[in-house]
């Protein structure tokens, strides 16, 4: 197949460069810009008024980028680095510069810089690392306790009539905690993998929440928290009953646990337009600081690590809630004022109106 590149090379080059997600900047030895693509315009937020010959300094004042290009021009070898660009927005780029060689010339005539935004990847990598660090912490804490009490029992405490039962109860409590964590992890991965099949039906919310109130009552009583079901009769939602129970129980139990003695938890619900039902769970608890809000739905993220033992829970509840809500095609949001309380709102499909 023959292909006359010279005739098409200019539009072809522009089309190829324009279609790349990576920002491309080509400079000559005097750091004048020979070529750049649309992605580079986006990466460096270049102003459209810039006309005429551009120099690299007109595109970026970032010293690391200039140093990278200079190194390539000087040494003729590729240069690779991850760049953290600090500014009003903080971003991370993978930056690779390679020498530009022309068949006619015997030296490096310029350099090609490729910029790829890896901000999101770096963030996900951090979340993943933290997840495993937290997971090992969450598993190790009860395990350490169990081993310590077993050892005490083996060393003779088994025959200590005053304490042996108490020790066994503690072992049992920590084993349950580990079991819950393992169960939640399995649930979460099933939900995320889409293996958790939802079977949405029309549910009347007032009655549904009344049934949950019975389950919440012991925990609420123990913490002197009043639970109120203020759902208007006649509000319906289209949801999988088992999933909805898991969603609401997680939110309500959290609202009870992170409350104060004498506080209250209120559930309300209403329609939003013809297609959505909103359910809100409001508490009068400690609240969540703004800086934690974006992260509370992450797996095992703890706002206050020192309180996690005291209030229990696996640290996976809100992640499970979020994924169950998303799998329904819904969304979840939260408002919180530290010291006043929090309100979690979920939007789920409203049952189709009778035609």
Residue ranges that bind other proteins, judged by CB under 8 A: 30-31, 47, 49-53, 55-58, 60-63, 66, 86-88, 90
Structure tokens at 92: 């991370």
Q: Are 203 and 210 in contact (CB under 8 A)?
A: no
Q: Among residues 47 and 355, whose Cβ is nearest to other proteins?
A: 47
In whole angstroms, give the CA distance from residue 291 to residue 136: 25
Q: Are 33 and 55 in contact (CB under 8 A)?
A: yes
Q: Tell the smallest beta-carbon distance from residue 51 to other proteins (Å).
A: 7
Q: Tell the smallest beta-carbon distance from residue 80 to other proteins (Å).
A: 20
Q: Among residues 87 and 273, whose Cβ is nearest to other proteins?
A: 87
Q: Among residues 4 and 291, whose Cβ is nearest to other proteins?
A: 291
Tell me phi and psi for residue 175, to 5 degrees: -65, -40
Q: Tell the smallest beta-carbon distance from residue 32 to other proteins (Å).
A: 9
Q: Tell the smallest beta-carbon distance from residue 47 to other proteins (Å).
A: 7
Centre a 10 Å sphere on the Cβ of residue 168 and count the other Cβ atoms it contains.
14
Per DSSP, which regions of the chain are E strands? 23-28, 33-36, 79-85, 91-101, 108-117, 201-204, 226-229, 236-239, 264-272, 276-283, 331-337, 341-349
Q: Among residues 59 and 281, whose Cβ is nearest to other proteins?
A: 59
Q: Among residues 12 and 57, whose Cβ is nearest to other proteins?
A: 57
Q: Alpha carbon 295 to chain centroid distance?
A: 6
Tell me phi and psi for residue 13, to 5 degrees: -60, -45
Q: Among residues 25 and 278, whose Cβ is nearest to other proteins?
A: 25
Burial degree of 83 (CB within 10 A; 0-12, 13-18, 19+): middle
Nearest alpha carbon to residue 93 among 34, 42, 35, 32 = 42
In whole angstroms, give the CA distance from residue 252 to residue 247: 9
Structure tokens at 313: 């829970």
Q: Among residues 31 and 246, whose Cβ is nearest to other proteins?
A: 31
Q: Are 26 and 112 in contact (CB under 8 A)?
A: yes
Q: Among residues 7 and 51, whose Cβ is nearest to other proteins?
A: 51
Task: Give me the sign of the Cα torsion angle 242, 243, 246, 248.
Answer: negative
Q: Which residues of 285-309 are buried (b: 16+ CB within 10 A; e: fewer)?
A: bbbbeeeeeeebbbbbbbbeeeebe
Q: Among residues 85 and 265, whose Cβ is nearest to other proteins?
A: 85
Q: Tell the smallest beta-carbon distance from residue 62 to other proteins (Å).
A: 6
In whole angstroms, give the CA distance from residue 17 to residue 35: 10
């Amino acid at each position: 197949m023959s292909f006359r590149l010279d005739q098409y090379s200019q539009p072809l080059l522009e089309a190829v460069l324009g279609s790349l997600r990576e920002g491309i900047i080509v400079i000559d030895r005097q750091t004048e810009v020979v070529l750049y693509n649309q992605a580079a315009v986006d990466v460096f937020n270049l102003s459209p008024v810039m006309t005429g010959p551009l120099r690299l300094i007109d595109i970026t004042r970032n010293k690391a980028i200039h140093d990278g290009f200079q190194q390539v021009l000087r040494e003729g070898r590729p240069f690779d680095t991850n760049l953290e660009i600090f500014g009003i927005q903080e971003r991370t780029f993978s930056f690779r510069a390679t020498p530009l060689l022309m068949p006619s010339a015997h030296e490096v005539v310029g350099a090609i810089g490729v910029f790829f935004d890896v901000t999101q990847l770096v963030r996900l990598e951090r979340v993943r690392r933290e997840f495993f660090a937290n997971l090992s912490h969450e598993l190790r804490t009860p395990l350490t306790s169990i081993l310590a009490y077993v050892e005490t029992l083996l060393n003779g405490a088994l025959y200590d009539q005053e304490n042996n039962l108490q020790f066994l109860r503690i072992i049992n409590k920590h084993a349950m905690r580990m079991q819950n964590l393992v169960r939640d992890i399995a649930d979460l991965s099933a939900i995320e993998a889409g293996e958790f099949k939802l079977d949405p039906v029309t549910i009347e919310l007032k009655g549904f929440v009344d049934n949950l109130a019975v389950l919440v009552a012991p925990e609420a009583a123990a913490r002197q928290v009043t639970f109120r079901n203020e759902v208007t009769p006649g509000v319906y939602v289209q949801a999988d009953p088992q999933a909805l129970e898991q969603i609401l129980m997680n939110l309500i139990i959290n609202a009870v646990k992170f409350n104060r003695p004498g506080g209250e938890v209120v559930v309300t619900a209403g329609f939003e337009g013809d297609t959505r039902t909103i359910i809100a769970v409001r508490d009068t608890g400690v609240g969540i600081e703004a800086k934690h809000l974006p992260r509370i739905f992450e797996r095992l993220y703890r706002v206050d690590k020192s309180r996690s033992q005291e209030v229990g829970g696996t640290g996976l509840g809100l992640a499970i809630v979020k994924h169950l809500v998303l799998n329904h095609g819904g969304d979840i949001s939260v408002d919180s004022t530290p010291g006043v309380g929090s309100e979690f709102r979920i939007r789920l499909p409203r049952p189709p109106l009778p035609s």
